């Protein structure tokens, strides 16, 4: 059996983690685990966890660590994670990073590489204000990654929507939360020798190419 491969994509909201995580997961034959998508799925299914998460997500705050870690633990226990995963939006706090290390020890591995997709704040606001989502998780942008038909998902024809937390005032708060609570992880992964900074302002294909290179060289 191949050694499982776990990749952590770091970066502020709007950096392109979701866009790139899907591409990497497909190219490497791994699952894509987005904690934001998992919370949104719970919300859609009207679970207790979904309602709890929504009270934090709508304000641009982080969902408490214990709840988030338990959800990831359950996800990683599923058989499709045996070969590894591309983690997107997790860990987001030092406590989550420590828990991830514990969780991965059951696979006999640690995080292989933690690319940081770096994008300046003004670009993030522009990206998130033009982000169009499909209910199946695909991500478009009004200008930079438009669907063939405006507001319609290319793959399943469903109507696209804008996330409530992509409103400019919530976006600004999410960026602050990132700087305060998540940015310390840059140093955490740097000290472990796992951080690779990638210029996230380049075109989507170019960012994918650089990420694939970082993974291959890890």
Among 5, 19, 76, 194, binds ligand ADP (CB under 6 A): 19
Catalytic residue among 22, 23, 75, 92: 92
Distance in angstroms (rounded) separating the CA atoms of residues 208 and 103: 27
Least distance CB 201 / ligand ADP (angstroms): 7
Known catalytic residue: 192?
A: no
- Can you read off the two tokens belonging to residue 135? 């209910």
Among 7, 8, 31, 62, binds ligand AMP (CB under 6 A): 62
- Can you read off the two tokens belonging to residue 192? 């472990």
Known catalytic residue: 75?
A: no
- Judged by beta carbon, residue 4 or residue 183, the one nearer ligand ADP is 183
Alpha helix positions (H), the chain: 17-28, 35-44, 48-57, 65-76, 94-105, 121-129, 168-177, 184-191, 204-217
Whole-angstrom CA distances from 171 to 52, 143, 174, 202 are 20, 18, 5, 21
Among 72, 195, 207, 211, binds ligand ADP (CB under 6 A): 207
Least distance CB 32 / ligand ADP (angstroms): 11
Query: Mind telling me the catalytic residues?
Result: 17, 92, 131, 163, 174
């Amino acid at each position: 059996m191949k050694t499982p491969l776990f990749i952590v994509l770091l970066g502020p909201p709007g950096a392109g983690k979701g866009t790139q995580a899907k591409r990497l997961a497909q190219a490497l034959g791994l699952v894509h685990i987005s904690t934001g998508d998992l919370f949104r799925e719970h919300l859609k299914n009207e679970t207790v966890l979904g309602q709890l998460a929504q009270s934090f997500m709508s304000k641009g705050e982080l969902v408490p660590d214990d709840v988030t870690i338990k959800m990831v633990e359950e996800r990683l226990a599923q058989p499709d994670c045996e070969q590894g995963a591309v983690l997107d939006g997790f860990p987001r706090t030092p406590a989550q990073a420590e828990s991830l290390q514990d969780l991965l020890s059951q696979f006999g591995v640690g995080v292989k590489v933690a690319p940081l997709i770096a994008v300046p704040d003004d670009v993030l606001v522009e990206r998130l204000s033009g982000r169009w989502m499909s209910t199946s998780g695909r991500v478009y942008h009004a200008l930079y990654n438009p669907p063939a038909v405006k507001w319609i998902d290319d793959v399943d024809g469903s109507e696209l929507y804008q996330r409530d937390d992509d409103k400019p005032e919530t976006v600004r708060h999410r960026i602050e939360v990132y700087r305060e609570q998540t940015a310390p992880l840059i140093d955490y992964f740097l000290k472990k020798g796992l951080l690779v900074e990638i210029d996230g302002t380049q075109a989507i294909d170019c960012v994918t190419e650089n990420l694939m290179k970082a993974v291959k060289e890890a």
